[in-house]
A and B are shown apart, each in its own frame.
Chain A
């Protein structure tokens, strides 16, 4: 049984002219436990919407998201929040670290709503990512590369079974992009977490070797150009 399964998932948005615009139309997609999947997609292709549906941040207009045999897309919002806090990690393109929190607090926040705070584990993650001397620093006091590593640590802080990475290297200097990707993939392997990484960066896609093409996955893209 796959860890994650999408069945005929569609998501439409109401356009200003009142018509519904279909952004995501994925008939089938699944990920096994511990599997690492790369999805190639251009900007505006709806891949962030796709990830948000998987994460439960957006409800599909129709279809089902099945997690470990259970339909999670039909859960109420509070239950989806709890599921996300427990099972998922999310790496954003812009990192989305909280400016008022230190690096350690940002990572602790990643486990706050799930398993509960574990400063020791949060510290060990930051040490693993080479930030042992930056734990008390706030994001503004860190380099872009360091911020990215804090974001990686936060995504893995709740020991998730699936990590979603949305253009994880998009904001990084080319020198650090592959290094950050390597760290993310290594950490997922170490923790046994599956990884879905969407990107349009050829280096990232090359690293995975057999990236899926989002245009093939998403039937909505075949109908008309969309914005995500």
Chain B
């Protein structure tokens, strides 16, 4: 064994450039496989198993998935609005612990502004048992004033803090050069990071959405006059976040909602997202096939890199044989060398994996606010390097057979 390691170590050193190139290519391959597995698994867990603290989302007639993406992850556009009366009706039901309105229409440099009530800070649980908490001495907004509470990412990215003011921009997308609304909002607090999409949201009183200049309400022909009360029939919300006294109550409400034709109830939320991931599962499969292909290419690269040196090394093997090395020793040295390159590649693969995972986590956090658990260990972190070493050993077999069959006397003649 000692002689084997001696020969392999010297050979790796002697062919340093091709060793490094092959190690890097094997590293990219194994890193890619581990990343695809981990990122897809982590994304699925973060989006579907994230322990969302409420049970259902009530919204306009349309797609349940769109409702969930819009309300839970603050993505996509709202499928439409539902009347205020429906919100009040579900809020008043005995089987509903809380119903919190969600109204859209504005942004601040691309960060979504959501109109809601103070209940979002008082009773709402973004995850089971987890309520919003304020940084420092931050406070909830006063529903009668133009005040706002910022998610941690918004505050961090825009450099805003308690006491600062801003003017909202119309629409969910920020259009550079567009003029802001006239209303000036004062920040009353910044929330602690939740590692959820909520970190990228600005919460303001729902009245603020109704009264924003340029907003026309249903039934109203003009904007609401300053100081005037808004008739309930003019009011609309994009969605309502619901928590039942018992989660199964959602089934009953869903049946009721389905009988009507004006609204949709997304329930249970995890199931809606699970269906979504099933539908897009093919993307993960395609990525995996690409990753496997990269592994195969790396395997062939390894084979080519060793095989190409075989002619120059044939004499080396003959000398080793003349010095007493057995055929099996020479064969094993080649296979071990290929395996060692693959093993080194796998170690590099962990760096590649770390880089891709960290980058993906950053992008996903930036885009959705959802934080991947980068510390979790997926089984692929074990079997991918093992598989890579197996591919390496396999790639070494053909050159090893060539070395094994070297005619010593003829080669040294």
> Which residues of A are in contact with B by a Cβ distance under 8 Å?
48-49, 52, 55, 57-58, 77-78, 81-82, 84-86, 88, 90, 92, 96, 98-101, 105, 108-110, 112-114, 116-117, 154, 158, 228
Contacts and interface: CB of A to CB of B under 8 A. Distances in A.
23 contacts: A52-B409, A57-B322, A58-B409, A77-B326, A78-B326, A81-B326, A82-B324, A82-B326, A85-B325, A92-B412, A96-B322, A96-B412, A99-B14, A100-B316, A109-B320, A109-B323, A112-B3, A113-B323, A113-B324, A113-B325, A113-B326, A117-B2, A117-B6
* Tier of interface size on chain B: 20 to 34
Given A84-B323, A85-B324, 18 more contacts: A49-B409, A52-B408, A77-B326, A77-B327, A78-B326, A81-B321, A81-B324, A96-B412, A100-B10, A100-B316, A101-B10, A105-B10, A110-B323, A113-B320, A113-B329, A116-B2, A154-B323, A228-B413
Contacts, number: 77
A97 B15 CA distance: 17
Contacts of A108: 6
B409 A57 contact: yes
B249 interface: no
B321 A57 contact: yes
Interface of B is mostly: helix
B3 A113 contact: yes
Contacts of A158: 324
Contacts of A109: 6, 320, 323
B3 A98 contact: no
A177 to B, nearest CB: 21
Interface in B1-33: 2-3, 6, 10-11, 13-15
Contacts of A105: 10
A189 to B, nearest CB: 23
A34 to B, nearest CB: 22
B43 to A, nearest CB: 47
Q: Which 3 A-B pairs have the closest CB atoms?
A: A85-B324, A100-B14, A113-B324
A110 B325 CA distance: 10
Contacts of B15: 100
A86 B323 CA distance: 9
B319 interface: yes
Interface string B314-340: 011001111111111100000000000
A112 B323 CA distance: 8
B308 to A, nearest CB: 16
A21 to B, nearest CB: 15
Nearest to A98: B316
B324 A48 contact: no
Contacts of A228: 413
Given A48-B413, A78-B328, A112-B3, A55 B14 contact: no
Given A98-B316, A101-B10, A57 B408 contact: yes
B10 to A, nearest CB: 5
User: Which of B322, B324, B326, B413 has most chain A Cβ within 10 Å?
Assistant: B324
